[in-house]
Amino acid sequence: MNQVEQKTAELVKLIRALDWFQFEKLLALLYTDSGYVVCRMGGAKADGGVDLLVEKPGKKGLVQCKHWRAWNVPVKEVRELFGAMNDHHIPNGVLVTVKGFTSEATEFAGRHGIVLYDEGDLVEMILNSSLEIHPRIMDLLRDERKFCPRCERIMVLRTSKRGSNPGRQFWGCSGYPGCKYIFNLDDSDKNEPIAARTFQRRKTTPPPTNDTQPAHSDTLKETLNVLERLFKALR
């Protein structure tokens, strides 16, 4: 595994360690950096297939975020996004996940012009983001705190004392009993290997030709430089 693959694997590991609320915040940050005005529609409330409404001159879309590390997103979730697009009269839809999508989901999305992103696409979005937001990206990826999606208070690790699973640990809102929102602990990523894959900066990478072996080397160096700057970024 070369240095680019090692750094990429580190980045993927940080993305997988996020909770779904942090994952949604990361996507909002990346779309904002791309020039979109972002309205968060998810959070702790039922979202009806929509987490983000993104808009810039000439383009508007709905984004659904599924931080699923152990399951492929099924067609049901894509249908829900398509229904939300029709309800809001918005022609563009994007569904972002970590692991991937079932073949039925991919086929349905292709027929209806819905864009599907997995963790590989998300890594490339991060590599293509502006240097100015790298500190904010790394702050988010390295932050081990949990925040309540309902009230934004810090969440604390608690142990269930009653119910069907006494002794089970979970994240509970520090505003309890005023706010009773919880996160269940999720260790589903422990059985999922991080795929070795080389990612490139789409904005700056020239199309390959028969004469671009040196250019390929330059591309890897550039990608490594971006990854190294990203990991060094601190506010």
Segments making up each domain of the chain, as ranges: 3-232
* CB atoms near residue 200 (< 10 Å): 17
Strand 59-66 to 52-56 pairing: antiparallel
CA angle (62, 65, 66) in 5-degree steps: 145
Q: Of 40, 61, 41, 53, give the one whose Cα is nearest residue 113.
A: 61
CATH value of 3-232 in 1.10.260.40, 3.50.50.60, 2.130.10.10, 3.40.1350.10: 3.40.1350.10
Bond before 149 cis per omega within 30 degrees: no
pLDDT over 90 (residue 157) = no
Give the CA count within 13 Å in the CB-facing half-sphere of 87.
11
3-state DSSP assignment of residue 102 = coil
Q: Give the chain's mean pLDDT.
A: 81
Contact call for residues 217 and 118 (beta carbons, < 8 A): no
Question: With bands split at pLDDT 50, 70 and 90, how would you rate the model's confidence at 195?
Answer: very low
Using one digit for the tens of pLDDT, what is the confidence trace for 86-103? 999 999 999 999 989 999
pLDDT over 60 at 218, yes or no: no
Share in percent of the chain as helix, strand, coil (round to 5) = 40, 20, 40
The string of pLDDT tens digits covering residues 5-54 is: 888 889 999 999 998 889 999 999 999 999 999 998 865 554 566 899 99
Q: What average pLDDT does this structure show over 107-123?
A: 94
Prediction pTM value: 0.78
